[in-house]
Structure 1
Amino acid sequence: MWESGRLRNLRRSFAAANLAHGMGRMVSGAAAIALFPSALLAQAVMPQPHMSASEFAGRVAADAKPGWPKSPEAPKGAPNVILILTDDVGYGATSAYGGPVPTPNFDALGQRGLRYTQYNNAAICSATRAALLTGRNEHAVGMGTVTNAPTGYEGYSSVMPKSAGTVAEMLKQNGYMTAAIGKWHLVPEWEESQAGPFDRWPTQQGFEYYYGFIGADTDQFAPSLMNGTTPVEPPHDDPSYVLDRDLADRAIAWIDQQKQLAPGRPFFMYYATGSTHAPHQAPVDWIAKFRGKFDQGWDAMREESFARQKKLGVIPADAKLTPRPAFIPAWSSLTPEQKKVFARLMEAYAAELSYADAQIGRVIDHLKAEGQLDNTMIVFVQGDNGASGEGAKQGSLYEQAFINQYPEPFTDLVQNIDKIGGPEAYNNYPTGWGWAMNTPFQYYKQTASHFGGLRDGMIISWPAKIKDMGGLRSQFHYVTDIVPTILEAAGVQAPAVLNGVQQMPIDGVSMAYTYEAPQEPSHRRTQVFEIMQNLGIYHDGWWAGTTPTNAPWEFFKTVGTTDPNDRKWELYHVAEDYSQSNNLAKSNRKKLLELQQIFWAEASRNKILPIHSATEGAAGVPSMRGTRTSFTFKSGLTRVPPRAAPETIGHSYTVTADMMLEDAQTNGVIVTHGGKFGGYAFYLDKGVPVFHYNAIGQRQYQVRGGQALPSGEHQLKAVFRSDQAKAGSGGTMTLYADGQQVGTGRIDATLFARISLYEGFDVGQDTISPVNKDYSIATSKFQGELKSVTFYMDK
């Protein structure tokens, strides 16, 4: 407190009394009292007529007592909390849940805590993260899809409201130190640039420290990183660099720093790896550990995992293994070459998951070594949704091919098999492996109608509180239940008002009752689900959901009808049918209609309606560039995200660069967007103007000038004329130097949806990774004087 309450009243009363006296000729008597009721207080503490300023100062001096503002203090005994989230893992992937990938640190955590066998996420990245951090249903906070594909409907805008404060903000205001490490994926794309606004970045969402990547995924060897809101480059001169190790190093360093400076304060850390979202990359020696481990194929792997799951007790003894769907080929039907490539893709995935487990284990081991582990509550959510089906039937050497609708030739994977898992690939596995890692369930990520998209392993470890170490818990729970569980552990109430904003109610229910009551019925009775038009509803042990119409690799394609009344519904009694193996829709029509009615009521309450495709309502999405068709930049502007950079997809355009060269052999980038996995670069190669377009894989197109430019002032132009005004169209690129044509050539294909994922747009140099091998990041800086670069986009 800055001053005592009595002193504060004295000051106010003195000011009010003087104001009333000064207006005496205008207002007097009862009227003055009515206008200045605090004057009545003044009468109680001041002599009449009112005291002089010097007399008042004496009274103040006599009454004043020194005091200081107080920082919030955490409740006594509040534990440290680490919330760990991995990406695209699947219920049947890790050894802790019977899967084929050894995760000894996750397993050990389960032996020191509780493993949950009916925990569910939201079936896709951003939606799960919004629900996980706010405790509210994802559509209710505007995150009914990923930030990369918002629509204009309220539940899908990707804009989380201030009325949905995060658990980090709640804990921070109750004395916790807070940090977020790793993947965020909760910033609307038009707010991702250095110009902000930063309201939905981690450091404005309750986290005092942030280190990681803002978007959906990133390269393990050359990641797009942020420290707070400032872009940082990975160490390009360190061939041993791996992001997962870097994240663990940062987490350990932050914990050490905070505990040295404020040992009495608890911390909350949100630790979210990029693993195992594509790209599946790991150190070469880790990939080697898995060579030949998946040669048996996905059918056999699923059978093996199912048997282990029953032995471990993480599925009921009477659970049934759901059959392989017709659209996934039998492993036995594949050619030897297909088996070899597909097995290698799975080896890379397993290596990444196992390596990530080792790095997370380093953080846990550090807590133990520092004596912090017993009073640290660790909530480890192994996956933000089920394992992915986005790799389609043959997998991919580059995830960017799937995003840009480029059907990679299988021969590309064969010829580049030894690059899989390394820095020259951005690989993803075939759908068959995703299905197998979701054992014993149907489907995969994006499928909110079935547990293959929703169910993940989840462990809570808190040795100071949880005594049934190694126990299993089978209550049905949802991702929103994590926030109230953490708040109860911390002794903190969810506030009605946070930072001056009335808060939405918390949708989650605490799971703390399960610690000592393994058989108690679930406190969650109902939960609604919807992602990518896949609908689901849980209520009291029953489940109704729609049969999926869109394949996850057909994200941009409208398949079937968007009218929910035309959809086929399935019904499962999941209290007795753990894996959703027995569809009762025909035999129990009454129960299906009951659940459908509950779905529509919950959908309306949670802003899920209208059910719509990814393209409906997407027109007019905000962007930093707005409707501009002309952009002027100066050298040194880097890491501009897609929604703020000039949009070249589907357009003809002209790039004009004014420069001064002191050397006829000048090198360096004029402008670039993207990197080695897709993009373009306009640069000088020993004085020769070059425009290179990387349309992924074999689709590399280059136009070079005929000779080097001499020293002096020059104006270069790169003019692209698209064959058609539509995404993916080829066209002609022509280069001009000082008004004279110096080169021309074909660019047969351009990118369809994304110039890059997160490498960004750079002027005067390249960052993260080069678009081609004519230059390196270290040699990319423009050696002359680059005065300005102007883009002009044809409408």
Structure 2
Amino acid sequence: MNSKSAPLLGTLCNALIAFICSAGIRCAPADDQLPRPDTPFTGTIAPSVDNSVPRWSAPVTAPQGAPNILIVLLDDVGFAAPELFGGAIRTPVLEKLATEGLRYNNFHVVGVCSSTRAALLAGRNHHRVGYGTTENNNGYPGYSTIWPKDAASIAEVLRQNGYSTAAFGKWHNTPVWEISPVGPFDRWPTGLGFEYFYGILRAQDSQWEPDLYLNTTPAEAPRNSTGYHFTSDIANRAIGWLHTHESLAPDRPYFLYVATAGTHAPHHVPRSYIDRYRDKFNQGWDRLRSETFARQKTLGFIPENTTSTPRPSKVPAWTSLSDGQRKLAARQMETFAGFLEHTDHEVGRVIEAVRNGPGAANTIIFYIAGDNGAPIGAADGSENLTVPRTLDERLRHLDALGGPAVDNDYAGGWGWATNSPFQGGKIKASHFGGTRNALVISWPKRITAKGQLRQQFTHVTDIMPTILEITGIQAPSSLNGVPQKSLDGVSLAYTFDSPGAEARHAVQYFEAFGSRAIYKDGWTACASHSPPWEGNYSSDYTRDRWELYNVAQDFSQAHDLADKHPGKLAALQAVFEREAWRNNVFPLGGAFLPSGADAPRPSLTAERQHFVFYPDSPRLPLTAVPVLARSHRITVHLDAPVGSQGVLVAQGSRVTGFVLYVSQGRLIYDNNFSGNRHDVITSSELLPGGKAEVAYEFKETKRSTSSGVISVHGIGRLYINRRLVGEGQISHVRDFGAETWRYFGAFGVGRSHISAVSDAEAASTVFTGKIEKVLVDLQPVAIPPRISKAD
């Protein structure tokens, strides 16, 4: 712009401003014309003209008259274990409930723990919700253990329809890699419809020292003068939740899910309950089975024409055992029996609170006596995992059974006896011994028939449709913006008043770990398959022999008709194939197939070799920390004034694990192999006062496998400020990552969690110095060569 054009531009701007103002267009005043911020407003404010009034959104309420719901699910209980069903174990709570309602003797589950739980809560077949397996998960749709969003749980449906929801006990439906303080949490109980959760997340745990969670946060077990037990604890918590609910929302119906860890191994129970069965099983499993079978007929719980199936070859005859073997086995069964009665007692306390609360008569209770049949495991049972011990050693520790120091299970013969009259057991989905459990339903307001038997073919997927029908809630076609899969179950409500009604659940497939079966209109076709841990595993499923049973006439599957009716067998095999494709069962045996390099299993630790942990971390589950069954190095940066002692790093529990700690100024490493062997290395030098770097290094030399469990052997070395101060042989470092579900305990920095790995006092003491951080390297870092003490 030149000097001649400036006046012309100014004239044009003034003319434009004048035009805008004359046209009534408001113009922003110049800055020097704006009122000061503290100048009072001199105009008027027009009243509101939108006619707004205060209001609240109507709360979601359940349908009028909707009942309270309690589901009780026991764990690993044989069809005929309780006295009510012909067994020798007292379950007075279950029996009393049956006199008030109905017993079902043709009720089926999946045959393995978490799969049954998923089918129960989802109302869909277990492969359709990713639970064709438990911890043997992989990327196949039926075996991922990733609960899909299009299969909402009954808890979520009820919650969104005005119910309060809570779960207590054993969950076992969260992918193992998601069990950590960083989640994700959408497949924890509180992410699947339960507003409150208290219990354990894994397949099994110590009943005395469990790895507890409250909602999504690690919780400490309450300790008191009368002792602690997990089943008692969850009963107390459930009762407290019921009381709180009664105080604050007595008119709102609730859904309460109590899934005990009883009677899954370990069989942990107060001694007083074991003593109730002292010498009650000296007759052995052969006679127990025959006595139970006779009682089942006398009680009318099984048809009069039922044939008992023979003892499997893997179970030895009782008469073939030595006196010592019989003594050990009898005590194992006494412990299990006490555990079952104790579990029933604690469940009874919850039921009593329900019956004393609001809407007691309008509360329906489903008491499911087992999520699968009894396991037929090791012929001589077990105490601590796979530790080989002589019979004399085991007999010397007989009184330890049921206590916190052992991970005890009974001999397989007792599982066979309590599955009477069926063949097969837990894991074997091919036969009713693994998939048939007893059910009791009580609903005082609605079920008028008392103490009656129902014999229709029913399945665990029927529970959700039953609840929806009796509450008047429709199965949602879409939930949380996700279209929902159809339900697979059929409501049981038709059986409440009609003992002779024709069964409505006409077709049902079964599959677990390769064993499979199909039920259709009173017939079953089945094929057993041995899992890898039985030693004769084959991936060739075409060689499995199919059997055929007319279960409408042959209650126990005792008479194989495959050779007589090949056409019927072929027709049922075709039905199985159709159902298997529809339900994501293929690839058959998917539980044994690795995820592969193209689809590695999700993990917080895979592909990582370096880890950093801090003393302010919460208790970490074994699923969230690196697997140390390989060469590794643990380095601790600390400030330890003279006299400091306590735990630096601990992993596991009193049953299995390791601890690095300081005692009387010395650095000590203790590797605990299943509670029976401790490899201990102690530093030859004292820690200097003040800041220091201490380390433990493990160099792997060989590996061994026993019963599918990997142990690593090698040399352990201790260092203080990079100076070698201790060395020793370490045998049997457990591969926690291979079967995390089997091991108790947790990982902690500066303290032991849940229980101490070592009996030494300092190994259970919180470190009295200061830990800056702990480094874990799975590939040994460069360190100085070995330095002799003389140097």
Letter in structure 2 aligned against 1:654: R
1:117-169, CA deviations, whole angstroms, 9 ceiling, x for partnerless residues?
A: 100000001100000001000001100011x2212211001101011101011
Give 1:313 shift: 1.2
Aligned-partner Cα distance in 1 for 2:227–2:441: 33
Change (3 A) 1:511 1:776: farther
Residue from 628, 632, 643 that aligns with 1:653: 632
Give the SS at the match of 2:623. Answer: coil
Paired residue for 1:710?
688
1:782 has 2:767 as partner: yes
Structure 1 residues 677 and 683 mapped into 2: Cα distance closer, same or farther (>3 Å)? same
C-alpha distance in 2, partners of 1:372/1:431?
43
**Where does residue 437 of structure 1 map in the other structure?**
418
Measured in 1, the distance between the counterparts of 2:86 and 2:589 equals 37
TM-score, with length taken from structure 2? 0.89
Q: Match of 2:541? A: 564
User: Residues 408, 137 of structure 1: CA spacing in aligned structure 2 closer, same or farther, 3 A cutoff?
Assistant: farther
Matches for 1:185-584 after TM superposition, within 5 Å: 185-236=172-223, 238=225, 240-370=227-357, 372-390=359-377, 392-398=378-384, 400-401=385-386, 406-550=387-531, 555=533, 559-584=536-561
User: What residue in structure 2 maps to residue 25 of structure 1?
Assistant: none
Conserved? CA contact 2:656–2:744, under 8 Å: no
Q: 2: CA distance between counterparts of 1:558 and 1:325? A: 16
Q: Cα deviation per residue 1:488-530 (whole Å; 9 max; x = unaligned)?
A: 1111111111111111111110000001111111100000111
8 Å Cα contact 1:558-1:613 kept in structure 2: no
Which residue is equivalent to 1:640? 620
Query: Could you tell me which residue of structure 1 aligns to residue 94 of structure 2?
Result: 106
Deviation track 1:617-664 (CA, whole Å, cap 9, x = no partner) reads: 244211111311000111132432223201112x1000011111112x
Report the CA distance between 1:371 and its aligned residue: 5.4
The equivalent residue for 1:770 is: 756
Query: Counterparts of 1:250 and 1:234 in 2: how far apart (Å)?
Result: 11
Q: Which has the higher mean CA deviation after the structures are superposed, 179-188 or 65-74?
A: 65-74
Q: Could you report, residue by residue, the CA deviation over 1:345-398 in whole angstroms, capped at 9, with x for unpaired residues?
A: 1111111110010111111122223354311100011100001123x1110012
Per-residue CA deviations over 1:273-331 (Å, capped at 9, x if unaligned) read 01000010111111111111111110000111111111111111111111111221000
Q: Aligned ranges for residues 566-715 of structure 1 at < 5 Å?
A: 566-612=543-589, 614-619=591-596, 620-649=600-629, 651-663=630-642, 665-715=643-693
After superposition, give the CA deviation of every residue in 1:511-566 in whole Å (9 maximum; x if it has no partner). Answer: 0000111111110000011101001100000001113323xxx53x6633222222
Q: Secondary structure at the match of 2:620?
A: coil
2:143/2:590 contact within 8 Å kept: no
Q: What one-letter code is carried by the residue in structure 2 that aligns with 1:531?
A: A
**Do 1:638 and 1:761's aligned partners in 2 also have CA atoms closer than 8 Å?**
no
Question: What's the counterpart of residue 25 of structure 2?
Answer: none
Q: C-alpha separation between the residues in 1 aligned to 2:226 and 2:641?
A: 34
688-697 or 73-82: bigger deviation: 688-697
**Change over 3 Å in CA distance of 1:106–1:580 after alignment to 2:** same
Between stretches 754-763 and 205-214, larger displacement belongs to 754-763
Change (3 A) 1:721 1:308: same
Task: Tell me: CA distance 1:238–1:621, structure 2 relative to 1, closer, same or farther (3 Å).
Answer: farther
Q: How much has 1:250 moved relative to structure 2?
A: 0.8
Aligned residues: 726
- Kindly report the root-mean-square deviation, in angstroms, between the aligned alpha carbons of the 2 structures: 1.8
Distance 2:585 2:218 in 1: 35
The code of the aligned residue for 1:633 comes to F
Counterpart AA for 1:741: L
Paired residue secondary structure (1:164): coil
Contact 2:655 2:744 in 1 (8 A): no
- Which amino acid in structure 1 is aligned with residue 366 of structure 2? V
1:28 — aligned with what? none
Quick one: structure 1 residues 760 and 754, their matched pair in 2 at CA, closer, same or farther if it must change by over 3 Å? Answer: farther
Amino acid at match of 1:767: H
Q: Max radius of gyration: which structure?
A: 2
| Unaligned residue ranges in structure 2 (runs of 5+) | 1-44, 705-709, 781-791
8 Å CA contact 1:562–1:613 kept in 2: the answer is: no
CA contact under 8 A between 2:665 and 2:686: conserved in structure 1? yes
Q: Relative to structure 1, is the Cα distance of residues 381 and 776 closer, same or farther in structure 2, using a 3 angstrom cutoff? A: farther
Q: Which residue of 2 aligns with 1:85?
A: 73
Deviation at 1:614, TM superposition (A): 3.9
Deviations 1:78-124 (A, max 9, x none): 11000110100010000111111100000000111100010000000
1:222–1:236: 8 Å Cα contact kept in structure 2? Answer: no
2:699 alignment partner, SS class: strand
What's the secondary structure of 1:571's corresponding residue? strand
The superposition leaves residues 566-620 of structure 1 with CA deviations (integer Å, 9 ceiling, x where unpaired) of 2111111100000000011111111110110000110000000011264412442
Most deviating of 609-618 and 515-524? 609-618
How many angstroms apart in 1 are the aligned matches of 2:139 and 2:324? 45
1:758-792 per-residue CA deviation (whole Å, 9 max, x = no partner) reads 42211110110111101378x42111011111000
1:14 maps to which residue?
none
Q: CA deviation at 1:242?
A: 1.1
Residue equivalent to 1:17: none
1:738-777 matches, cutoff 5 A? 738-752=721-735, 753-754=738-739, 757-775=743-761
Whether contact under 8 Å (1:533, 1:562) holds in the other structure is no
In the TM superposition, what is the alpha-carbon distance from 1:225 to its structure 2 partner?
0.6
- 2:603 & 2:682 partners in 1: Cα distance? 33
Corresponding residue to 2:108 among 116, 120, 124:
120
Residue in 1 aligned with 2:712? 729
The one-letter code sitting in structure 2 at the alignment partner of 1:490 is T
8 Å CA contact 1:74–1:266 kept in 2: the answer is yes
In the alignment, what sits opposite 2:28? none
Which residue identity does 2:328 align to in structure 1? V
1:754 Cα offset (Å) = 4.4
CA contact (8 A) 2:267 2:408 kept: yes
Letter in 1 for 2:450: M
Q: Matched residues, percent identical?
A: 41
Q: 1:238 to 1:632 in 2, by over 3 A?
A: farther
Gapped runs of 5+ residues in structure 1?
A: 1-53
> Counterparts of 1:290 and 1:791 in 2: how far apart (Å)?
49
Tell me how far apart the structure 2 counterparts of residues 252 and 425 of structure 1 sit (CA, whole Å). Answer: 30
Counterpart CA distance in 2 for 1:110 and 1:236 is 35
Q: Map of 1:176-191 to 2, 5 A cutoff?
A: 176-191=163-178
Relative to structure 1, is the Cα distance of residues 246 and 742 closer, same or farther in structure 2, using a 3 angstrom cutoff? same
Distance 1:725 1:422, change over 3 A: closer
- Secondary structure, in 3 states, of the residue corresponding to 2:691? strand
How far apart are 1:704 and its partner, in Å?
1.1
SS of residue in 2 equivalent to 1:133: helix
Question: Counterpart of 1:60 in 2: which secondary structure?
Answer: coil
In 1, Cα distance between equivalents of 2:516 and 2:712: 35
Distance in 2 (alpha carbons) for counterparts of 1:466 and 1:622 = 47
The corresponding residue for 1:169 is: 156
